[in-house]
Structure 1
Amino acid sequence: MSVLRRSWGLSLAWLAVALAALLVSACDGDDATPETPVPTESTMGSSTPGPAATFTPTPEPVTVMIEAGETIQEVVDQHPPGTRFVLTAGVYREQAIEPRDGDIYEGEPGAILSGARVLEGFQEQSGVWVVGDQTQQGFGTGRCAEAGSDICQHPEQLFIDGEALTQVGSTDDLGPDMWFFDYDNDTIVLSEDPGDRLVETSVTGFAFTGEARGVVITGLTIHQYANRAQAAAIDASDGYAWTIQDNDVSWNHGYGIRTGDSAVIRGNHVHDNGQIGIGGQGDDVLVEGNEISYNNRAGFASGWEAGATKFSRTHNLVVRGNHVHHNYGAGLWTDIDNIDSLIEENVVEHNLNRGITHEISYTATIRNNTVGFNGQGYDVWFWGAQILVQNSQDVEVVGNQVIVGEAGGDGIAVVNQRRGDGVRGPWVSRDVRVLNNTIRYIGAVGQSGMGDDTDQSPACAGESGNVFDGNTYHVPDDATEYWAWCGPVAWVGFQERGQELTGTLEIVASDAATEPEAPAGDLPPNG
């Protein structure tokens, strides 16, 4: 039977404790040199694991030291596969590396791979400052958030003393902290004299890519690469069993990291990239213990493919224990034919769009995550959900802690639309079980439940197997329509539709002051 209780205060301790625990875990050993990971076996804990990801590295690999100023690929080519390359402290500019099987790339503290070159020789011309001979122009793709603009498609960026400037479309648009790339005349234009400041522009298309097996990349800062949208600074999509661990991956134009079969992406700080932090495809992929924040700096349309993550066509994907926050788009997003996904124990907060989304895919478990204050950038229908199952079947959403902010967003939602067929049959919302979660609404906005805009709304019928039950809701009152089942309803109406027969409703005084900080906000200008 359902339970209705009234109380007058609910601590947000669950959010603070979850975040603190995750941050402590992420920070352990920051002052120590991490042990170099060697890929031997991936045991990812999926409820339906596939074959283990195995690779046998060269025993006791030879160590080769590399110093800034050397061309890394030239050094690599002089040594056999399976060599351990240690990069000493310094800035390694315009390096593009294709590893061989079993190679290890390890950075000492202060080792930085930069895809940018230094710009010098600016001259004043008609009140602006210009440098010529800039022939780099990367291939552009993608849809920009700003209607009619294509600036987000250009992979070139510009930095002064390490700070990114905003790219504009003409000299007339220039102002402080802005720059213009006159592609027709091969010039870069600033509104102010940079003087003796360090000016850098990104020119190199990738840091690591290739078909090698068992590659390890660890301890490096990898930034300012001019990789186009949907390509990555670290691109493991054609490789096998890459381990990418304990790196800072930032201010690259497209993806920070792209996955491939049996990739392990662990303990990285992936932030301020132009399109997406981490994403890709592959079987038996593990994404664990990363901080993923402030991505989509270039201003792509988040519904196209932008934000923290996006995974497609994976099998046995595990996304565990990550802190995903303040991205200008979606948080954790599995979209298109993902099978047997496990998304657990993540903290997903303050992202502009949805928190966790499983879309046009198949079997998944979304459990024990802490998800809050997402979806305030586009809160229409259920598109601002903290957790959204969209045209996917055989999905269990269980044990999550969810909070909907006063400014907008939704709780846990299931959506069914006409989306066609995938590798395992129709993309429909069927056999979705939302069980034993805790959902709190701070204000009078947001809903949890089911939406179906197809003929006769089959996803809301009993034979669909879609069910909400055993969940606990904390709401300011029991009359507001915080629920929907092919139409908005209050608590009693939700139960009349066969939902939450063992659910719990608690009336909790609204306390918007408990919201810890502002959401991600509007999309940034292209930076």
Structure 2
Amino acid sequence: MTNRWRLFSERSSGHRDTDAVERAAFVAAPSGCGLPTFMTTHDTIPETATLDEPRPRRCVGTRSIIAVVLAMAVLITPLAFDEGSTAHAAARTWVVAPWGDNSASGSASDPLKTVGWAVARARSGDTVVLRGGVYNEQVQVYRKTLHIRSQPGERAVLDGAVAVDDWSPSGGDWYSSGWTQQFYREVSGGVVDGDNIVAGYPDQMFIDGRTLTQVLQRSDVRPGTFFHDTDADRLWIGDDPTGARVEASKLRFGFYFNRADGSTLTDVTVRRYATEARHMAAIRAYSDNLVFSGVTSELNARIGISAIGSGIVIRDSRFVDNGHLGVHGDRLTTFVVERTAVKGNNKAGFDTFHSAGGLKVTSSRGVTIRDSDVSRNNGPGIWTDLDTEYVTISRNLVERNGRAGIEIELSRSVNVLGNVTLDNGEAGIWVLESQDIQVLHNASYDSKNAIEVEEGPRRNVRNVRVFNNVLARAKGGSLALLAVNDWTEERSAAQMGVRTGYNAYWVPSTSETANLSRWGQWPSSPAYSQDLREHQQVTGQGVGSLVDTSGSNPFVRSTDTLDYRSPSTTAAGAAVAGSAAAELGVPSGSRPRIGPLSVVVRR
């Protein structure tokens, strides 16, 4: 059960619309220093500054820290290249190449060397073209509109890791001395599960591209692991580094779009940053009208991308194998994620009941997530929470996530349309304490409960429509393919306003439950139904529904090609109207076949 009272503590203020002094004053020390959680001192450092300095190991007085940082803000703020957001008359293109020179003109034949210096020199409206190769940088775009992209046919990679050399054997392991880079480590509680405190340690190491697992003490080092001895400034590994490329993350973030309204990032990879909680993500998109296209953010310690703003679009991108979340959004207006892979996230093992998983959006309005692949995340796949409203989740493949495939929590006015959810750890689709929800034309297979609607103490469920779906073959721990209940044991499904009909149930002998439905009837106990007549008698609903118990699924065309559309002989479902019909691509008022209406794509 989700912990229903813990909020997403990373929703820190002061990132988007504060000036340099305010950002500098919003500071925190390591755990135990009696200061807030977050620190944004890097926000005030010009793009040309070196940002990989070692962090202090000991706490100093609160007043001392704030005084120092305020003094830094006064000194460095005049150095920032602040052109405002209005494009100048003659926009130009700046070219950057790993073999360039920062004293160069920035032309195609005379490129600059670093992305940060190009961003600093560019004016609003300019384009920054990155030649293929690796850039070991962290870059802030502040108060200007820039278009940053890779050279067509090439790929620029911002990489937070550097090579670590000079290894010495000792006791069957190997160590490298002189690693002075240190990161703030988040203590247990909140997003860090007390049983896995190492999740809050941003340190990362890689050997020949393979990620090593961090351990908490020298004696635990084995092949495939590493230990950071912060007292001795040593890195320990259990693999023989001879002839191998060993790397460790040294930088904290890749891109920070800060009041950079209208900027774009295209065909760029951001990887292996040791992102601390205060920096949230390898890419921070804290501006309006940003577009991310063809972007990959992978193998970062925390979040792939974090977005706050209006009119932000993410398309044709990949957010994979990040430590906490692939995509995070908060306080968004008109946010679109489409044709994007969000896969394998929460590798570090953050608390999946708090916020960790694939894609989570909170406190937002006007969210669309479509035609994407949200799979193999350790936690919920797609998750809306904390008063997110006017949401469309359509035509996604949502597969093998550790908790619910699609979780609609404390949200309202949500359309869940035409998705395919496969083999998720909890419900394929879970509607929790939410209102005005439509769940239409989805296929949910091999999850604990195919579709679950649940009321709790924080908010009454109201007006949930579950129509034209395929609910199929539950796995272990299932109560029923369709589960509707109030876990406070106060209200019935009828009082919640849950309506169902024209659903197809496939219950082969391999299904872990024969129950079609579990229907809340409080103050009486929930009623279970194992056939359609019983389901209709108990619920007073279920008109037009179908049940099949054969060993061959009659409600799918080809699982091999992810074609979960029902065959042409399948009965028509209930009429679909309005925005749901438009998103599904059918005329308003038409009655399409039960089940998904399009083929999903594995990305």
* TM-score, normalising length: structure 2: 0.69
2:259 equivalent among 198, 211, 221: 211
User: How many angstroms does 1:71 deviate by?
Assistant: 2.9
Matched, 1:483 2:526: no
1:24-47 Cα deviation digits (max 9, x unpaired) = xxxxxxxxxxxxxxxxxxxxxxxx
Which protein, 1 or 2, shows the higher relative CO under an 8 Å CA cutoff with sep ≥ 6? 1
Quick one: which amino acid aligns to residue 137 of structure 2?
A: E
Quick one: which amino acid aligns to residue 457 of structure 2?
A: R
Distance 1:291 1:153, change over 3 A: same
Quick one: which amino acid aligns to residue 328 of structure 2?
A: G
Give 2:144's aligned residue.
101
Quick one: which amino acid aligns to residue 535 of structure 2?
A: F
User: Could you say what secondary structure the match of 1:317 adopts?
Assistant: strand
1:126-148 Cα deviation digits (max 9, x unpaired) = 44322223232323336678753
1:172 equivalent among 207, 214, 219: 219
More divergent stretch after superposition (358-367 vs 102-111)? 102-111
User: How many angstroms does 1:113 deviate by?
Assistant: 0.5
1:417 equivalent among 456, 462, 482: 456
Give 1:470's aligned residue.
502
Distance 1:459 1:264, change over 3 A: farther
Give 1:272's aligned residue.
321
Whole-angstrom distance in 1 between the partners of 2:185 and 2:116: 26
Flag the structure with larger Rg. Answer: 2
Matched, 1:385 2:427: yes
1:279-306 Cα deviation digits (max 9, x unpaired) = 2121100011101111111121222221
Give 1:221's aligned residue.
269
1:298 equivalent among 345, 348, 358: 348
Quick one: which amino acid aligns to residue 134 of structure 1?
A: W
Q: Is the 8 A contact 2:206 2:248 kept in 1?
A: yes
Matched, 1:79 2:122: yes
Matched, 1:252 2:297: no
Give 1:365's aligned residue.
415
User: How many angstroms does 1:93 deviate by?
Assistant: 0.8
> What RMSD, in angstroms, separates the aligned Cα atoms of the two structures?
2.5
Distance 1:315 1:260, change over 3 A: same
Give 1:62's aligned residue.
92
Q: Is the 8 A contact 1:443 1:476 kept in 2?
A: no
1:162 equivalent among 202, 209, 213: 209
Give 1:352's aligned residue.
402
Whole-angstrom distance in 2 between the partners of 1:117 and 1:443: 44
User: Structure 1 stretches of 5 or more lacking a match?
Assistant: 1-54, 376-383, 420-426, 518-527
Give 1:327's aligned residue.
377
Distance 1:488 1:231, change over 3 A: farther
Distance 1:373 1:64, change over 3 A: same
Whole-angstrom distance in 2 between the partners of 1:58 and 1:395: 46
User: How many angstroms does 1:193 deviate by?
Assistant: 3.4
Quick one: which amino acid aligns to residue 130 of structure 1?
A: Y
Give 1:13's aligned residue.
none
User: Structure 2 stretches of 5 or more lacking a match?
Assistant: 1-84, 100-112, 521-525, 562-603
Matched, 1:241 2:313: no
Whole-angstrom distance in 2 between the partners of 1:97 and 1:444: 48
Give 2:131's aligned residue.
88
Whole-angstrom distance in 2 between the partners of 1:250 and 1:99: 24
Matched, 1:195 2:234: no
Give 2:486's aligned residue.
452
Distance 1:249 1:493, change over 3 A: same
Q: Is the 8 A contact 1:99 1:208 kept in 2?
A: no
Give 1:130's aligned residue.
175
2:444 equivalent among 402, 419, 422: 402
1:85-104 Cα deviation digits (max 9, x unpaired) = 11111110133333542201
Distance 1:131 1:110, change over 3 A: same
More divergent stretch after superposition (272-281 vs 138-147)? 138-147
Q: Is the 8 A contact 1:225 1:253 kept in 2?
A: yes
Quick one: which amino acid aligns to residue 222 of structure 1?
A: V
Whole-angstrom distance in 2 between the partners of 1:258 and 1:200: 25
Whole-angstrom distance in 2 between the partners of 1:246 and 1:163: 24
Q: Is the 8 A contact 1:204 1:225 kept in 2?
A: yes
User: How many angstroms does 1:473 deviate by?
Assistant: 1.0
Distance 1:444 1:475, change over 3 A: farther
Quick one: which amino acid aligns to residue 179 of structure 2?
A: Q
Quick one: which amino acid aligns to residue 542 of structure 2?
A: E
Give 1:286's aligned residue.
336
Whole-angstrom distance in 1 between the partners of 2:212 and 2:267: 27
Q: Is the 8 A contact 1:443 1:510 kept in 2?
A: no
Whole-angstrom distance in 2 between the partners of 1:170 and 1:445: 37
Whole-angstrom distance in 2 between the partners of 1:233 and 1:437: 37
User: Could you say what secondary structure the match of 1:306 adopts?
Assistant: coil
Quick one: which amino acid aligns to residue 101 of structure 1?
A: K
Give 1:428's aligned residue.
460
User: How many angstroms does 1:322 deviate by?
Assistant: 0.4
Whole-angstrom distance in 2 between the partners of 1:430 and 1:455: 16
Quick one: which amino acid aligns to residue 436 of structure 2?
A: D
Quick one: which amino acid aligns to residue 255 of structure 1?
A: I
User: Could you say what secondary structure the match of 1:260 adopts?
Assistant: strand
User: How many angstroms does 1:503 deviate by?
Assistant: 1.9
User: Could you say what secondary structure the match of 1:75 adopts?
Assistant: helix
Whole-angstrom distance in 2 between the partners of 1:167 and 1:444: 32
Q: Is the 8 A contact 1:118 1:201 kept in 2?
A: yes
Quick one: which amino acid aligns to residue 298 of structure 2?
A: S
User: Could you say what secondary structure the match of 1:74 adopts?
Assistant: helix
Distance 1:466 1:79, change over 3 A: same
